[in-house]
């Protein structure tokens, strides 16, 4: 090889390298480091109102300057996609105001992808338009590690009008570190004047669903083969009943403590509420107009001695047709009965009642439950201490003054282990969970500390032996089997209601640990079976109760003593400004008839 040839080769190689470096440099050179890019405090040009309503992992800049503030450099007044201000990139190699963040601020985990959008205005020109909405990331040394752009290039770039640009960039190949700097700006690479407005930057990409994989595969030749307690489940619907307009719904919030019962001996259930401020209220449900009517409680201070109220219970302790109320609070608990209001729905005037205290405790109750544990159609109370010791008492009206609690059964130094709260999280519910039982049962759901698994049991009071007999067999270690992915949890609420006379009572399990999840279930001597998912229908617009942030279901027999309904109360936090989309509500929903 001659010297000349060598020189030519070296020269050629250098030219080639220069071209490559230039090409890469154009893209990756940190112009933003050497060019003066306009910048300003974001506080100046971000509308806090819009920030509040942004979707997760989203940045939005409308570049509106707060009244009275000086217009920052790089801004343009009088022509904007929204508001009055936009940012400018005028002339060859000009840059708009850049939005800057560190990867730490965004969260490295949210930098797997980014979607950008902005509105562009090109002033009418005869020059070729060329520019890019740019996303860059640079490392601690200021060297670009990522450059992505939405090219705005001829042909047919609109002029003299706003148009939107958008794109999605997969960033999964970039290894972000917390101190990496991220910038978003518009780069004008043409001799034109360009305005930009309303940057939207969405980090993270699509969020995957929870879970593993679908169990039902209809593409297999066998199609769907039902699998006990495995989803999907049939869906049954709670049907909205017409409700009147006179109910003072604003007074009822799902955060209130409330209970339905036939407190005023009207023949069907009304509502007793203690709101979040500790104020009690009584409502009768007027079946003819299907609305709640407030009954003035003449002695609201009667519950003051037990405040703060933790739990409301009801029962027929006196042996008559009406329900009595137990209010259990931090300082004690009381048993009371309401003065009957025979026709609470008659007339337009305000009706009133008072709560007569039948009994008052000296100290707070550890945990208190009500039920007909011996099947005599009279309600007893079950008091369970944190160590699992217990006693069952009935209210004896024959004794002194207003009456007293008489112990019917109690543990003989042999507490129920499942009820010991020191070693586990415990949920206790009372009801006729098994069809055909003459007395109420106790459903206990526990999660032992330090363990992932949940277990549950059903117990029936054995009066003669003074113990709660487990209904599941010894073979199952006295616990119900859990089959399928749905597990009963201590936080679950259980409701038992009949749709109409003659219908078997339905058992509902309500869980909100992740989402609205109401299921009809059925217990047997081995396990529980999921009968259906329960949804709502008949609501206005798209105001499905399950979409509410807070949703309380109050079971009761509001219209008749035999037709079970749910009083459903929903609300969304005020700061969402969702009152026109999901207004707070109180509605009655009927449970479906048995087919």
Asked if 117 is part of the footprint of other proteins (rule: CB under 8 A), the reply reads yes
Asked if 77 is part of the footprint of other proteins (rule: CB under 8 A), the reply reads no
Asked if 49 is part of the footprint of other proteins (rule: CB under 8 A), the reply reads no
Asked if 590 is part of the footprint of other proteins (rule: CB under 8 A), the reply reads no
Shortest Å, Cβ 58 to other proteins:
6
140, with CB counted inside 10 A (0-12, 13-18, 19+), is exposed
Distance (Å, whole) CA 82 – CA 77: 11
Letter string b/e over residues 335-364, b meaning 16 or more CB atoms within 10 A of that residue's CB: bbbbbebeebeeeeeebebbbebbbebeee
Asked if 57 is part of the footprint of other proteins (rule: CB under 8 A), the reply reads yes
Nearer to other proteins, 6 or 576 (CB): 576
In angstroms, how far apart are the furthest CA atoms of the chain? 125
**What separation in angstroms does the CA of 466 have from each of 181, 346, 373?**
70, 48, 12
Nearer to other proteins, 17 or 54 (CB): 54
Candidate segments 214-222, 368-376, 498-506, 587-595, binder of other proteins by CB under 8 A: 214-222
Distance (Å, whole) CA 302 – CA 359: 12
Binding mask 514-543 for other proteins (x = CB under 8 A): xxx------------------------xx-
Nearer to other proteins, 468 or 536 (CB): 536
Q: Which backbone phi and psi does 343 adopt, to 5 degrees?
A: -130, 70
Angle at 464 between CA 403 and CA 457, to 5 degrees: 95
Nearer to other proteins, 184 or 273 (CB): 184
Asked if 549 is part of the footprint of other proteins (rule: CB under 8 A), the reply reads yes
Asked if 234 is part of the footprint of other proteins (rule: CB under 8 A), the reply reads yes
The DSSP bridge pattern shows strands 352-353 and 291-297 to be parallel
Angle at 204 between CA 203 and CA 206, to 5 degrees: 120
Shortest Å, Cβ 168 to other proteins:
5
Shortest Å, Cβ 83 to other proteins:
15
180 and 140 in contact (C-beta within 8 Å)? yes
Asked if 107 is part of the footprint of other proteins (rule: CB under 8 A), the reply reads no
Q: Which backbone phi and psi does 455 adopt, to 5 degrees?
A: -140, 160
Distance (Å, whole) CA 294 – CA 351: 8
Among 78, 573, 580, 595, binds other proteins (CB under 8 A): 573
Shortest Å, Cβ 505 to other proteins:
24
Shortest Å, Cβ 420 to other proteins:
31
Nearer to other proteins, 137 or 292 (CB): 137
Residue 566, beta-bridge partner list: 555, 589
Binding mask 411-450 for other proteins (x = CB under 8 A): ----------------------------------------
77 and 67 in contact (C-beta within 8 Å)? no
Asked if 228 is part of the footprint of other proteins (rule: CB under 8 A), the reply reads no
DSSP string, 315-366: E--SSSSS-EEEEEETTEEEEEEEPP-S-TTSSSSPPEE-EEEEEE-SS--S
Nearer to other proteins, 192 or 200 (CB): 200
278 and 300 in contact (C-beta within 8 Å)? no
Q: Which of 172, 162, 63 is nearest to 108 (CA)?
A: 172
Shortest Å, Cβ 327 to other proteins:
29
Which residues within the stretch 481-500 sit at the binding site for other proteins (CB under 8 A)? 485
Asked if 39 is part of the footprint of other proteins (rule: CB under 8 A), the reply reads no
Q: CB neighbours (10 Å) of residue 233?
A: 17
Asked if 152 is part of the footprint of other proteins (rule: CB under 8 A), the reply reads yes
Binding mask 194-213 for other proteins (x = CB under 8 A): ------xxx-xxxx-xxxxx
Name the one residue in this structure whose structure tokens are 């449970």: 591
Torsion of CA 214, 217, 218, 221, to 10 degrees: 180
Among 43, 55, 276, 301, binds other proteins (CB under 8 A): 55
Among 1, 141, 218, 401, binds other proteins (CB under 8 A): 218
**What separation in angstroms does the CA of 111 have from each of 29, 150, 286?**
21, 18, 56
Shortest Å, Cβ 107 to other proteins:
13
Among 43, 219, 400, 580, binds other proteins (CB under 8 A): 219
Shortest Å, Cβ 583 to other proteins:
12
Candidate segments 166-174, 188-196, 314-322, 380-388, binder of other proteins by CB under 8 A: 166-174
Distance (Å, whole) CA 154 – CA 242: 60
Shortest Å, Cβ 115 to other proteins:
4
Shortest Å, Cβ 449 to other proteins:
25
Among 128, 140, 217, 469, binds other proteins (CB under 8 A): 217
Among 264, 582, 586, 590, binds other proteins (CB under 8 A): 582
Among 6, 25, 53, 319, binds other proteins (CB under 8 A): 53
Asked if 215 is part of the footprint of other proteins (rule: CB under 8 A), the reply reads yes
260 and 270 in contact (C-beta within 8 Å)? yes
Cis peptide before 526 (omega within 30 of 0): no
Sheet holding 550-556, edge to edge: 493-497, 506-511, 517-523, 528-537, 235-240, 585-590, 565-571, 550-556
Candidate segments 99-107, 152-160, 336-344, 420-428, binder of other proteins by CB under 8 A: 152-160
DSSP code, position 236: E
Shortest Å, Cβ 192 to other proteins:
15
Among 107, 232, 244, 342, binds other proteins (CB under 8 A): 232
Nearer to other proteins, 44 or 51 (CB): 51
Asked if 374 is part of the footprint of other proteins (rule: CB under 8 A), the reply reads no
Number of residues counted as binding other proteins (CB under 8 A): 65
Residue 297, beta-bridge partner list: 353
- Residues of the shown chain interacting with other proteins in the complex, contacts defined by CB under 8 A: 53, 55-58, 115-117, 133, 150-153, 155-157, 164-168, 200-202, 204-207, 209-219, 223-224, 226, 230-232, 234-235, 485, 512, 514-516, 541-542, 544, 546-549, 572-573, 576, 578, 581-582
């Amino acid at each position: 090889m001659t010297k000349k040839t060598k020189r030519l080769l070296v020269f050629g190689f250098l030219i080639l390298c220069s071209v490559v470096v230039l090409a890469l440099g154009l893209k990756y050179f940190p112009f933003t480091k050497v060019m003066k890019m306009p910048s300003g405090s974001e506080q100046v040009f971000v509308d806090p109102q819009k920030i509040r309503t942004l979707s997760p992992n989203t940045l939005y800049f409308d570049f509106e300057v707060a009244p009275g503030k000086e217009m920052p450099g790089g801004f343009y007044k009088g022509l904007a996609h929204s508001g009055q201000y936009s940012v400018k990139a005028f002339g060859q190699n000009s840059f708009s105001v850049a939005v800057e963040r560190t990867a730490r601020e965004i969260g490295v985990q949210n930098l797997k992808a980014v979607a950008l959008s902005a509105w562009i205005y090109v002033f009418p020109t005869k020059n070729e338009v060329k520019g890019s909405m740019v996303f860059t990331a640079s490392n601690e040394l200021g060297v670009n590690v990522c450059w992505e752009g939405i090219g705005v290039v001829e042909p047919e770039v609109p002029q003299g009008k706003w148009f939107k640009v958008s794109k999605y960039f997969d960033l999964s190949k970039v290894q972000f570190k917390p101190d990496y700097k991220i910038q978003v700006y518009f780069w004008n690479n043409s001799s034109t004047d360009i305005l930009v407005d309303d940057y939207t930057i969405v980090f993270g990409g699509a969020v995957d669903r929870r879970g593993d994989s679908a169990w039902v595969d209809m593409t297999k030749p066998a199609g769907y083969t039902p699998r006990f307690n495995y989803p999907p489940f049939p869906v049954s619907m709670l049907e909205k009943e017409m409700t009147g307009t006179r109910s003072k719904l604003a007074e009822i919030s799902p955060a209130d403590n409330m209970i339905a019962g036939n407190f005023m001996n009207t023949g069907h259930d009304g509502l007793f509420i203690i709101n979040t401020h500790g104020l009690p209220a009584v409502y009768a449900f007027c079946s003819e107009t299907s609305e709640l009517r407030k009954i003035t409680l003449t002695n609201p201070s009667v519950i003051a001695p037990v405040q703060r109220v933790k739990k409301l219970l009801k029962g027929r302790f006196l042996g008559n047709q009406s329900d009595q109320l137990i209010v259990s609070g931090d300082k004690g608990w009381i048993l009371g009965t309401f003065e009957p209001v025979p026709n609470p729905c008659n007339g337009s005037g305000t009706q009133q009642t008072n709560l007569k205290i039948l009994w008052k405790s000296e100290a707070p109750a550890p945990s208190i439950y009500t039920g007909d544990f011996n099947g005599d159609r009279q309600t007893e109370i079950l008091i369970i201490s944190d160590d699992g010791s217990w006693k069952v008492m009935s209210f004896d009206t024959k004794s002194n003054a207003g009456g007293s609690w008489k112990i019917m059964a109690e543990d003989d130094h042999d507490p129920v282990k499942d009820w010991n709260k020191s070693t586990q999280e415990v949920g206790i519910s009372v009801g006729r969970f098994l069809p055909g039982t003459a007395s109420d049962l106790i459903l206990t759901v526990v999660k032992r500390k330090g363990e992932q698994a949940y277990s549950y049991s059903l117990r029936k009071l054995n009066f003669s032996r003074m113990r709660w007999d487990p209904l599941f067999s010894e073979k199952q270690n006295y616990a119900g089997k859990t089959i399928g992915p749905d597990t009963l949890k201590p936080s679950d609420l259980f409701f038992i209601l009949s749709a109409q006379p003659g219908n078997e009572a339905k058992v509902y399990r309500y869980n909100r640990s992740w989402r609205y999840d109401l299921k009809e279930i059925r217990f047997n001597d081995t396990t529980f079976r999921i009968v259906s998912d329960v949804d709502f229908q008949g609501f206005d617009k798209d105001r499905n109760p399950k979409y509410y942030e807070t949703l309380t279901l109050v079971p009761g027999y509001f219209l008749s003593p035999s037709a079970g309904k749910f009083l459903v109360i929903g609300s969304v936090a005020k700061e969402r400004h969702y009152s026109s989309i999901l207004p707070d509500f109180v509605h009655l929903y009927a449970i479906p008839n048995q087919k």
